[in-house]
Amino acid sequence: MPDDPAGTRVETPEEEGRRLTEDALRKADQGIGIPIEEVEAWLDSLGTNRELPRPQARQCF
């Protein structure tokens, strides 16, 4: 993003996607993430009468 001392520039969707992807990759490099088994269990529970809470990122490896 170009310099914006006033902080008034709005991030484009592409810039936001790149920023979020870079942040996720940094976290993955640090071993922070959500085990796929937890994501799959959560997804399988959606729409049932026993929905699981959304899994949270944590130190995985």
Distance CA 32, CA 57 (A): 6
Structure tokens at 54: 């959304």
User: Which tokens is 46 given?
Assistant: 């959606």
Q: Are 57 and 27 in contact (CB under 8 A)?
A: yes
pTM over 0.85: no
Question: What is the secondary structure of 5-44 as a DSSP string?
Answer: TTS-PPPPHHHHHHHHHHHHHHHHHTTEE--HHHHHHHHH
* CB-CB contact of 33 with 56 (8 Å): no
pLDDT, tens only, 14-60: 999 999 999 999 999 999 999 999 999 999 999 999 999 999 999 98
